[in-house]
Structures are given as structure tokens and as C-alpha cells.
Amino acid sequence: TQLLEQSPQFLSIQEGENLTVYCNSSSVFSSLQWYRQEPGEGPVLLVTVVTGGEVKKLKRLTFQFGDARKDSSLHITAAQPGDTGLYLCAGSPTNDYKLSFGAGTTVTVRA
């Protein structure tokens, strides 16, 4: 059982459409991170959210941390083919130092 559950597992959309990826847990996290990984490469850190209810924007990407710090979402507006990749959420529960990763959401944006 994954500590962090991501949904959906796969997402395929047309260029210009919007998409949302979810990351949920029953545990409380001191912070959550989102990474993007392209095939054959290492994950790249996109953002860290720390405060419950926090919203961070990175160009067309919007990240939100749930009020109870148990969940997070990533919203991409007007997706482009360059957004294609595996999106991973990761976090350390407040009672554990180790970083746990979700299974990831594979996003494919078709031109």
C-alpha cells in the first residue's frame, strides 16, 4: 500500500486542454513536493508546498496543498506537448523523516 496515492495513473489529453493530478494520503505531511520525470532521466523538483491551503504557481502549473496537509493537487492550464512526463508527488509524514513517493501519473499531451 502506497503512503501517497496518485490519480489518475494515466492521462492523455490534447494540446490546449487543462488537466489535474491528485495526490492523497491519510497521513499528515510537513511538506509535499512535486517532481516531473522524463523517460530515462531522474525526477526534477518542480515545487514544495509547506503550509496547509497554500497555492503556488509556476507558469501554467498550479499546485495546491490541502488545508489538513494530507493531500495536494497539480493543475496544468493549456497543456503543451512539453508537459508530457511522469508526475510524482512526494512527502515525509510528520512522524517519519523518510521521503515517500507516490506511484506517479503519466501525462501525455498530444499535439
Partner 1 sequence: DSGVTQTPKHLITATGQRVTLRCSPRSGDLSVYWYQQSLDQGLQFLIQYYNGEERAKGNILERFSAQQFPDLHSELNLSSLELGDSALYFCASSPTSGRANEQFFGPGTRLTVL
* Residue ranges binding partner 1 (CB under 8 A): 2, 30-31, 33, 35, 40-45, 48, 50, 88, 90-92, 97-104
Whole-angstrom distance, CA of residue 102 vs CA of residue 3: 7
Cell of 4: 501517497
Closest CB to partner 1 among 50 and 68?
50
Closest CB to partner 1 among 65 and 79?
65
Strand-pair category, 10-14 with 61-65: unpaired
Closest CB to partner 1 among 13 and 86?
86
